[in-house]
């Protein structure tokens, strides 16, 4: 076994290695020039602390179609601060979602509610105090469609672009703050990337909010659409989370049931109009014609034709031979003519 080192052994060795101070007669050697450091270690990417602890729960009710499922998955992909949960039963009340968000440690929620397997509603809520907003989702297009040619880094932070109308009306201002808190990725989030390469745009046209996602191309700062895209038709804004007093109700909103009912009524009205036109035409055809009195001036220019003498034929006419071939018929006619000439001669 190696002998144990004494405490003073290390210091003694160092003392031996240390050179003695040079005397006055000895020349001091020049120090070697140290080459400059060409490579330096970069600082860590995230130098800050994750303070904005926003977590968004994104899930849906039972009965959604494939397009809604893909849209929900796209939002989860684009939002690294989101969480998922199993589908909620349609028989449960909506205020149960507040308890689900509390169990998942989420303070924001995006809930997709399907009705009649054809209508899709979206709830945006600040749980558990509120407020919350209910929208009708229309014209849904997902990331997987071929028309979306853009691309962005997974987990990158987006820029949020809003229409100027959001700052003019109070209910749109409330929705703007709700969109900012839900869709913006918190700074220094563990799952996010420190890059900004796409833009979420919220524009208002035809009393609806149009959502688009664009990629920022570095070369010329142009925009290419990534997806998803959808249109939100505002229904109501509630004071509480998934309920409570109504703060705003959209007067321009028309339910899908009423829209389908108006379409059926318009089709029925066109059919009824065609039937009425047919009945009027039948009545006109069956109606008695009005007799017009004779005009005496119509006979002024009529001239009577000459009466031809009536000839009574006593001899039966000769039967003409039925000949299908025209050449034979001509030969027969020539023979008859020759006979006539002979008798006359």
d(C-alpha 105, C-alpha 122), whole Å: 21
Quote the pTM value: 0.67
Domain boundaries, the chain: 56-258
Helix extents (H) in 18-125: 66-78, 96-103
- Domain 56-258 coded CATH 1.20.1420.20: no
Q: What is the pLDDT of residue 286?
A: 81
Length of the chain measured in residues: 345
pLDDT score at 42 = 62
- Residue 37: what pLDDT? 57
Do 199 and 222 touch, CB atoms closer than 8 A?
no
Q: What is the pLDDT of residues 241-267, one digit of tens each?
A: 999 999 999 999 999 999 999 999 999
| Element housing 266 (H / E) | helix 256-286
Contact call for residues 221 and 197 (beta carbons, < 8 A): no
Q: How far is CA 114 from CA 38, 63, 123, 136, 210, in A?
A: 61, 6, 11, 10, 20
Task: Compute the radius of gyration of the chain from its Cα atoms.
Answer: 49
Residue 213: phi and psi, rounded to 5, are -130, 120
Phi-psi region of 221 (alpha: psi -120 to 50; beta: other; left: phi over 0): left
- pLDDT value, residue 288: 65
Q: Using an 8 Å Cβ cutoff, are 77 and 128 in contact?
A: no
- In this prediction, the residues of the chain whose per-residue pLDDT falls under 70 are 1-39, 41-47, 288-290, 321-324, 345
């Amino acid at each position: 076994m190696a002998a144990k080192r004494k405490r003073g052994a290390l210091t003694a060795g160092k003392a031996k290695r240390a050179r003695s101070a040079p005397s006055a007669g000895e020349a001091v050697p020049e120090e070697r020039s140290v080459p400059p450091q060409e490579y330096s270690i970069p600082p860590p990417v995230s130098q800050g602390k994750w303070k904005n602890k926003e977590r968004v729960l994104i899930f849906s009710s039972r009965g959604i179609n494939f397009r809604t499922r893909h849209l929900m998955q796209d939002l989860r992909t684009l939002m690294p601060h989101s969480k998922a949960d199993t589908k909620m039963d349609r028989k449960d009340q909506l205020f149960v979602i507040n308890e689900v968000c509390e169990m998942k440690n989420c303070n924001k929620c995006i809930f997709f509610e399907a009705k009649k397997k054809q209508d899709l509603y979206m709830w945006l809520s600040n749980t558990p105090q509120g407020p919350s907003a209910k929208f009708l989702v229309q014209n849904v297009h997902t990331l997987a469609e071929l028309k979306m040619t853009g691309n962005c880094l997974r987990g990158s932070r987006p820029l949020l672009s809003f229409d100027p109308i959001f700052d003019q009306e109070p209910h749109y201002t409330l929705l703007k703050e709700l969109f900012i808190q839900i869709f913006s990725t918190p700074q220094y989030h563990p799952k996010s990337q420190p890059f900004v390469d796409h833009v979420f745009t919220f524009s208002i046209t035809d009393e609806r909010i149009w959502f688009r996602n664009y990629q920022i191309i570095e070369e010329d700062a142009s925009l290419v659409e990534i997806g998803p895209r959808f249109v939100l038709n505002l229904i109501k804004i509630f004071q509480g989370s998934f309920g409570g007093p109504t703060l705003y109700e959209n007067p321009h909103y028309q339910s899908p049931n009423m829209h389908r009912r108006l379409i059926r009524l318009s089709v029925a009205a066109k059919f009824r109009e065609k039937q009425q036109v047919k009945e009027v035409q039948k009545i006109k055809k069956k109606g008695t014609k009005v007799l017009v009195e004779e005009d005496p001036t119509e006979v002024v220019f009529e001239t009577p034709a000459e009466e031809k003498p009536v000839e009574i034929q006593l001899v039966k006419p000769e039967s003409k031979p039925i000949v299908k071939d025209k050449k034979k018929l001509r030969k027969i006619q020539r023979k008859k003519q020759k006979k006539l000439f002979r008798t006359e001669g």
